[in-house]
Structure 1
């Protein structure tokens, strides 16, 4: 939000009235953004307070806000691809536009690791034990994003038993609903391709890749999906190195194997058919 609050005025005859700002309405910058609640959400567990715990809490809350935005954008992109042609704005263009925003946010997520790495291992250890059994493994929004992107893992609900009823419901809903990849395959089918199985989808992708003049929008979407996949992989790689820098081979506070578990996630691909396509070009 920009501008100076309370400076919007207009004249009606001889009467000057405030049209916006603090004098014209109850809504203010702080109330609109819920700043009192937002800025009261960082509560340190360490006693005496560890200097870097505020940084640790803030950066992870920021991550969760970005995850919320990513879910908003990826869900909208998926829904656009699932909508019938001719239902408003060009649905393929809109999905690509939203995914371009997703890419920018994901690059921001990677860059935010630099902020965490201004914290030394010694400073982190001042309050790390206070975190147990909390762990980044428990980020429901991050799992939602993986499920929605195409990497569904029903076993997560069994492996982690600290989920609230609402969180379990959200994850079950993500497991049941179409993924971004499902929506892209639907768009391929809407363009006249046979997409009954992975072999047919692979052939369709091959055709799209070799005739970009006829299938420009589909090719752009395929590239946008691959970019999403690549940036998610970049974040996982950057994250595991940061964890190893902070705690080495120690176990995670939530009982996971720490960096060992994180490294096991590095080969994950949302869209293996798009990666396999590279070998066929």
Structure 2
């Protein structure tokens, strides 16, 4: 078969993946499905880029890492922008089909949990949510064994000749590791004498800020749509999401701000 736009991108199959659950069919459910399917595609691309970023860092490839991180940042901006589309749906319009979602919830997104894991976050409930889907538990556990972005950045600094330490994995809840006074001293040296490595530091701060922006827009979207109702997956909804706000991924890069 000749390769065409349609069969290369599997357009026919793609357009069959939006299965409306509401009866009678509610107009806005189509938007809800397409937005969330699109998010999952962006999560897939984020993971693809984060895998490359870690390789770039471990290999000490400064400009390769910078280019990859800039693409990641652009994807994050696009994801945040998509919230504007979802917010064209009113609370009444969402409520018209919410009951048909049963226990399906964004809380169950395996790919977003993978993103969080690579950022260094850990939480036992992540595995518990999928305890009846062992293939997802295995996938998440495998990710937990991989080096995080920050661990890879510390390896990058070592490649550049700095005496950075790979952080110890001490914490089972929240961020894996504690801030490091030693690494903060190294980072201050980097910021003062190494423009290329300092540029990467700032891109990492941009990423941290971008993840916080995504979380903020997400929680405000949920709050304006369902208020303080319990989430469809049984989570506490907005209350749970609020707890995730302002969780810094790279605390050492923030701590040195007052010393620069």
Distance change >3 Å, CA 235–CA 176, structure 1 → 2: same
Return the offset for 1:80. 1.3
RCO higher in structure (CA 8 A, sep ≥6): 2
Decide which of 120, 141, 144 is 1:172's aligned counterpart.
141
Say whether the 8 Å CA contact 1:147–1:153 is kept in structure 2: no
1:68 aligns with 2:47: no
- How many angstroms apart in 2 are the aligned matches of 1:96 and 1:243? 33
Output aligned runs, 1:164-203, within 5 Å. 164-196=133-165, 198-203=180-185
> Given the two structures, how large is their TM-score scaled by the length of structure 2?
0.92
Return the offset for 1:216. 1.7
1:225 maps to which residue?
204
- How many angstroms apart in 2 are the aligned matches of 1:175 and 1:107? 26
2:123 maps to which residue?
153
Structure 1: where are the runs of 5+ without partners?
A: 1-24, 86-90
Distance change >3 Å, CA 163–CA 184, structure 1 → 2: farther
State the SS of the aligned residue for 2:245.
coil
1:119 aligns with 2:89: yes
Residue by residue over 1:58-100, the C-alpha shift from the partner in whole angstroms, topping out at 9 and shown as x without a partner, is 00000000000000001100111112x5xxxxx1110110000
Return the offset for 1:184. 0.4
Say whether the 8 Å CA contact 2:103–2:234 is kept in structure 1: yes
- How many angstroms apart in 2 are the aligned matches of 1:65 and 1:163? 24
Structure 2: where are the runs of 5+ without partners?
A: 168-179
Residue by residue over 1:16-48, the C-alpha shift from the partner in whole angstroms, topping out at 9 and shown as x without a partner, is xxxxxxxxx611100000011110000000000
Return the offset for 1:163. 5.4
2:189 maps to which residue?
207
Say whether the 8 Å CA contact 2:76–2:210 is kept in structure 1: yes
- How many angstroms apart in 2 are the aligned matches of 1:162 and 1:44? 27
Distance change >3 Å, CA 139–CA 163, structure 1 → 2: farther
Query: Which of the two has higher C-alpha Rg?
Result: 1
Residue by residue over 1:136-158, the C-alpha shift from the partner in whole angstroms, topping out at 9 and shown as x without a partner, is 11001001011112223344213
1:28 maps to which residue?
4
- RMSD after superposition: 1.3
2:65 maps to which residue?
95
Decide which of 31, 37, 51 is 1:55's aligned counterpart.
31
1:43 aligns with 2:19: yes
- How many angstroms apart in 2 are the aligned matches of 1:205 and 1:123? 49
